[in-house]
Structure 1
Amino acid sequence: MPDWEKRFRAPRVGLPEWAEDAPDRSLFVSNATGTYELYAWDRATGAQRQVTDRPNGTTDGVLTPDGRWIWWFSDTDGDEFGVWLRQPFDGADGADGAGADGGESGEASGADEPAAPGLEPSYPAGLALGRDGTAVVGRSTDEEGSTIHVVAPGSEPREIYRHRESAGVGDLSHDGTLIAVEHTEHGDAMHSVIRVVRLDGTAVAELDDTKGGTEELGLSVMGFAPVAGDTRLLVGHQRRGRWEPMVWDPLTGVETALAIDLPGDVGADWFPDGSALLIAHDHQARGELWRYELASGELTRVETPAGSIGGAGARPDGAIEFLWSSAEQPPQVRSTSGRAVLDPPGFKAPVSVPVSDAWVDGPGGRVHALVQKPEGEGPFPTVFDIHGGPTWHDSDSFAAGPAAWVDHGFAVVRVNYRGSTGYGRAWTDALKHRVGLIELEDIAAVREWAVASGLADPERLVLSGGSWGGYLTLLGLGTQPEAWALGLAAVPVADYVTAYHDEMEALKAMDRTLLGGTPEEVPERFEASSPLTYVDQVRAPVYISAGVNDPRCPIRQIDNYVERLQQRGAPHEVYRYDAGHGSLVVEERIKQLRLEIDFAQRHLSLPGPGRGPAADRTEEQRALPE
């Protein structure tokens, strides 16, 4: 088995999340069976049990505060539309299940039942579980917009919120009397307002940073204080041009600014006693942790290796558990206690190569890119692997996909274009109205640097990405046809107008924010930002993969784009698979990347095992599954 496949197949575990009032009871995600599923872990006994077992995997699950129940979201083959189910932590009969660490185990044995009877299927929009069994369930549908229901034990669900714009449940206070709601009733899906309400829906207070200034600022719910009788809410804000936390008490209206002088974005979570905050600091594609004392304002660094933090939490004993990786080193669940936390069974993923940083002058400011390259001297065939989101960023973290390209002799460049997080609010908010075209300007600047520096072979440049990255790939192939030798687009937006009409409601709201309206209100902006507009200019061979159940980048709009390629006789291949916005099945992920690598090697006339130039292959060999 080649190293690149081992990196996908090596068992992984996510950061365990524990029940707040029963911290020995934890829930985590693992690919130990070859599909990402939920696992229960009793730390006191070491027993682990596989909670879910579905053909297309499961990753959304929550423990009740007392640790007695596991709630998990059940959709259909990745379409993200479904209901919450629950099962006892110990399973149907108390039997142990299939352990991800090789301990005492068996198969999933939970008896699932509806967790919120009476609620129809929907897209999830937040969930908060109370200590008395009350649940606050956020929902979204095309017909209803956003709704929030309170489900008390033995009672019918009670709707307490409804609005056409996107909204969701942020958190429930420790005593179960206050609900924090993030909403965008003002119509800007990129910048939320926080409203705190009681269980009957009556408003207590609202925090709104979208008014009174020249630019709208967003807020995010980070969580109520985890202490009885404490109504403080930890809030993320952008008042100083980046994400950082503050404390707000909705009952008194008191806002407490925090003196955290760190560059880049700053997130936070509570320590269990409410006296301090665990600070997650992200800057220039790296992450680190700090402890902030609320009484004194003292900020203390938590020692972690150089790389990225994929999540962290403070245990009741004060130890901090965190998920760490770097581009070179695979993910590990670590603890500041020095004790092993959770080690997956089986072989370990092979290491890859470290990243180097490139800073390139672009039309909107300096653009940060991460570079990995194989051994030897360039110029190399180079993959520009473009991240999705768009409000996301590439980081110095382990990724099996880029590592596979390096193994095959490609350099890989990942660009944190305007729209990416981690570089301040102005950088993230720069996309509006010229959507797609702005990001491609930054990618073009890095491409020119890569060629001029001798890193990249100008005749073998591959534009690649998934989701928003797939969208930018198709848009780039049409608007920069001479720049790219090849395009690889996974689950992309291909026809923006049709995508808008078919996608889930929350994404419609985001598109209205990005483009300034609907396709009927601003047709010229949708046309300028749609890959379909430029499909006749595409010259490079293009490979497209798509999930037939995808609610984010629906299949019909991709079919429209492919049909235009077919009408032109343009070189392309399409792979459709039975899942949603990507796959949680390891072998499916390997298959998709293998097909992409094969496509690139053939069309770039690069050597590969048993492969030759495309002209030497039969039509049957060239065709990929439809």
Structure 2
Amino acid sequence: MTESNGSAAPERTEEMPDWEKRFRAPRVSLPDWAEDAPHRSLFVSNATGTYELYAWDRATGEQRQVTKRANGTTDGVLSPDGSWIWWFDDKDGDEFGVWRRQPFEGGEDDLATPGLDPSYPAGLALGRDGRTAVVGRSTDEEGTTIHVARVGESPFELYRHRESAGVGDLSHDGSLIAIEHTEHGDAMHSALRVLRPDGTKVAELDDTKGGTEELGLEVLGFAPVDRDTRLLIGHQRRGRWEPLVWDVAAGTETELALDMPGDVSAEWYPDGSGLLIAHSFEARSELFRYDLASGGLERVPTPAGTVSGATARPDGSVEYLWSSAAEPPVVRSTTGRVVLDPPGMKSPGSVPVEDVWVEGPGGRIHALIQKPAGATGPLPTVFDIHGGPTWHDSDAFAAAPAAWVDHGYAVIRVNYRGSTGYGRAWTDALKVRVGLIELEDIAAVREWAVSSGLSDPARLVLTGGSWGGYLTLLGLGTEPEAWTVGIAAVPVADYVTAYHDEMEALKAMDRTLLGGTPEEVPDRFDTSSPLTYVDDVKAPVYISAGVNDPRCPIRQIDNYVKRLEMRGATHEVYRYDAGHGSLVVDERIKQVQLELDFAERYVK
């Protein structure tokens, strides 16, 4: 076993390989912009080697690094007037902390919400008056609380409940506050409530009642117009995510005339006359403009691939973050220009992704395949399993799969049951038999990969991070003959201990998935826990974990590792000083190198 908590690998003097360049090349997020000062923007970049927040004055072109912390910073919000940058200050990635704010032009960081103790964040909405904030908080002791915090006043508690909830949005004039809550006990399907700042209720919308199936709702945003009580929300009433306009004062709901497969989301154009539609289907995405008056739908031209974020600007143009599996991400505009082009090293591309559909026990499974150019099977193959679980892999650029391809592996990514983008029934299917359902789909794709001649059955790597790491450890124990090597990053390893140690919002999710607590449904937790099967694991196991991780805490990983040690099983463990993953580029490169080296020792 290898234990390590050392510093990142020193800079190399020899020529840097392409896989490392993909991690080191400067990247930028889609810039957020201030509603009443659209020339002021906020974005995230790894330009210094750590992901941090940056202010950008478009009028002057000046860019300024806002935060500088050892473990990085990505959670930031720009106030509507553009005067303040709010950022969340936790300790070494533990996600437990306070909001601070800094003047846009630079200066000292102030405690943004005096009177509120540290917590896990549960949403934030800032008022256009420059002095009001709606702050969501989550703690193990209190559950969720939401406060109205005004400069110079004590915070006012607007909402409190044991179940998970969060801030949705604050209306343009500050008179209405939308929250998402799960008071009904299903953390996968939220209901909505609109309150005034004094706590009085204005309206309620709950699709979890009155039917045989619980349906979720989500807040997409209030109309960006004064005294406008329209709230854009997402619903699942037709088996997929779609937007509708809910006038919370009039009590009316206006559904959109959109005939699109897959999931649909939206945000307002700045004048409130239309919606920017984001359509996701079969691992790709596209954009449209929807005119609310006419119901007309007009395509917003984007290249084939994945749009990871988009925003409509006051001049009617659209800025979007785009990539494909073969081409690195770039922030583009419909004006034809590149919005942000960070200086320095450019990322090499990778190989395109191929689509495969495999019949599985719950329906057709979509898998994405990458392999070295010109290679023919059977190949050593990495099954790289996504986290979430309510997420999906797409035709988007990802440095880690590209690194495996560079080293001669085929890479298969499976959008198993539980993944988003294939309808509500597919996402909701993983309840009760948690983990085992996803592994059935992965097994079906594995059987296809071997029978088709793509993959060598004696050289199969199972890997993933977070939920993907959990499925890796569970798969190694429940199918010990199927895998050559297992590599799990920040995984759930001992489900019962993980439940007791994790942050409160994830406890609620686990109760939803498994139907109760470990004390209420012990058999379900045991059946879904990798620790139950650890004595059956035969493949060499590599585990990496952040010692401050609140999502997949370190104690439950230690429990799993001790069982491996007792058996004398082949394994290595790498512990590092961060939370649920690292925002430091050197640290991330070190982790990938360790994973590649471990696989190489056992996959010839």
TM-score normalised per structure 1: 0.93
Question: Match of 1:386?
Answer: 385
TM superposition shift of 1:339: 2.5
CA distance in structure 2 between the aligned counterparts of 1:604 and 1:178, rounded to whole angstroms: 58
Letter in 2 for 1:245: P
TM superposition shift of 1:152: 1.2
Question: Match of 1:297?
Answer: 295
TM superposition shift of 1:542: 0.4
SS at match of 1:137: strand
Is contact 2:367–2:445 with CA below 8 Å preserved after alignment? yes
Question: Match of 1:10?
Answer: 25
Letter in 2 for 1:69: W
Instruction: Kindly report which structure 2 residues correspond to 1:176-191, keeping only aligned pairs within 5 A, or say none.
Output: 176-191=174-189
CA distance in structure 1 between the aligned counterparts of 2:269 and 2:511, rounded to whole angstroms: 38
Matched, 1:62 2:59: no
Stretches of structure 2 that go unaligned for 5 or more consecutive residues are: 1-15
> Which of 366, 372, 375 is 1:374 aligned to?
372
Is contact 2:388–2:466 with CA below 8 Å preserved after alignment? yes
TM superposition shift of 1:490: 0.1
Stretches of structure 1 that go unaligned for 5 or more consecutive residues are: 93-110, 606-626
Question: Match of 1:343?
Answer: 341
> How many residues are aligned here?
587
CA distance in structure 1 between the aligned counterparts of 2:24 and 2:301, rounded to whole angstroms: 30
Is contact 2:225–2:272 with CA below 8 Å preserved after alignment? yes
Instruction: Kindly report which structure 2 residues correspond to 1:409-428, keeping only aligned pairs within 5 A, or say none.
Output: 409-428=408-427
CA distance in structure 2 between the aligned counterparts of 1:402 and 1:566, rounded to whole angstroms: 30
Letter in 1 for 2:416: Y
SS at match of 2:388: coil
Letter in 2 for 1:52: T
CA distance in structure 2 between the aligned counterparts of 1:300 and 1:542, rounded to whole angstroms: 51
> Which of 96, 104, 114 is 1:81 aligned to?
96
Instruction: Kindly report which structure 2 residues correspond to 1:219-368, keeping only aligned pairs within 5 A, or say none.
Output: 219-368=217-366
CA distance in structure 2 between the aligned counterparts of 1:151 and 1:546, rounded to whole angstroms: 36
Letter in 2 for 1:299: L
Q: Deviations over 1:330-369 (max 9, x none)?
A: 0000000112311111121001000000000000000000
SS at match of 2:339: coil
CA distance in structure 1 between the aligned counterparts of 2:362 and 2:165, rounded to whole angstroms: 31
Question: Match of 2:163?
Answer: 165
Is contact 2:30–2:309 with CA below 8 Å preserved after alignment? yes
SS at match of 1:378: coil
Question: Match of 1:114?
Answer: 111
CA distance in structure 2 between the aligned counterparts of 1:549 and 1:287, rounded to whole angstroms: 35
CA distance in structure 2 between the aligned counterparts of 1:338 and 1:396, rounded to whole angstroms: 22
Question: Match of 2:5?
Answer: none
CA distance in structure 2 between the aligned counterparts of 1:229 and 1:196, rounded to whole angstroms: 15
Is contact 2:330–2:338 with CA below 8 Å preserved after alignment? no
Q: Deviations over 1:137-180 (max 9, x none)?
A: 00000000000000012101111110000000000000001000
CA distance in structure 2 between the aligned counterparts of 1:344 and 1:306, rounded to whole angstroms: 23
The one of the two structures with greater contact order (alpha-carbon pairs below 8 A, sep at least 6) is 2
SS at match of 2:338: coil
Question: Match of 2:548?
Answer: 549
CA distance in structure 2 between the aligned counterparts of 1:200 and 1:441, rounded to whole angstroms: 50
Instruction: Kindly report which structure 2 residues correspond to 1:140-219, keeping only aligned pairs within 5 A, or say none.
Output: 140-219=138-217
> Which of 49, 56, 65 is 1:34 aligned to?
49
TM superposition shift of 1:405: 0.1
CA distance in structure 2 between the aligned counterparts of 1:503 and 1:340, rounded to whole angstroms: 41
Q: Deviations over 1:525-544 (max 9, x none)?
A: 00000000000010000000
Matched, 1:470 2:466: no
CA distance in structure 2 between the aligned counterparts of 1:248 and 1:294, rounded to whole angstroms: 13
Q: Deviations over 1:245-285 (max 9, x none)?
A: 00001111100011111110000000000000000000000
CA distance in structure 1 between the aligned counterparts of 2:395 and 2:570, rounded to whole angstroms: 35
CA distance in structure 1 between the aligned counterparts of 2:338 and 2:301, rounded to whole angstroms: 16
Q: Deviations over 1:199-232 (max 9, x none)?
A: 0111111000001111000000000000111110
CA distance in structure 2 between the aligned counterparts of 1:212 and 1:431, rounded to whole angstroms: 23
Letter in 1 for 2:230: R
Letter in 1 for 2:23: F
Matched, 1:585 2:584: yes
Matched, 1:130 2:155: no
Question: Match of 2:11?
Answer: none
Is contact 2:414–2:445 with CA below 8 Å preserved after alignment? yes
Question: Match of 1:108?
Answer: none
Q: Deviations over 1:392-438 (max 9, x none)?
A: 00000000000000000000000000000000000000011000000
SS at match of 1:263: coil
Structure 1 stretch displaced more, 375-384 or 79-88: 375-384
SS at match of 1:575: strand
TM-score normalised per structure 2: 0.97
Letter in 2 for 1:372: Q
Pairwise CA RMSD: 0.5
Matched, 1:50 2:49: no
CA distance in structure 2 between the aligned counterparts of 1:253 and 1:548, rounded to whole angstroms: 48
CA distance in structure 1 between the aligned counterparts of 2:405 and 2:276, rounded to whole angstroms: 36
CA distance in structure 1 between the aligned counterparts of 2:560 and 2:427, rounded to whole angstroms: 28
CA distance in structure 2 between the aligned counterparts of 1:480 and 1:300, rounded to whole angstroms: 49
Q: Deviations over 1:582-601 (max 9, x none)?
A: 00000101000000000000
Question: Match of 1:619?
Answer: none
CA distance in structure 2 between the aligned counterparts of 1:573 and 1:266, rounded to whole angstroms: 43
Question: Match of 1:91?
Answer: 106
CA distance in structure 1 between the aligned counterparts of 2:467 and 2:264, rounded to whole angstroms: 24
CA distance in structure 2 between the aligned counterparts of 1:490 and 1:478, rounded to whole angstroms: 16
TM superposition shift of 1:382: 0.3
Letter in 1 for 2:320: F
Matched, 1:429 2:444: no
CA distance in structure 2 between the aligned counterparts of 1:87 and 1:272, rounded to whole angstroms: 26
Question: Match of 2:394?
Answer: 395
CA distance in structure 2 between the aligned counterparts of 1:420 and 1:175, rounded to whole angstroms: 37
Question: Match of 2:485?
Answer: 486
Structure 1 stretch displaced more, 350-359 or 596-605: 596-605
Give the 4+ runs in structure 1 shifted more than 4 A.
none
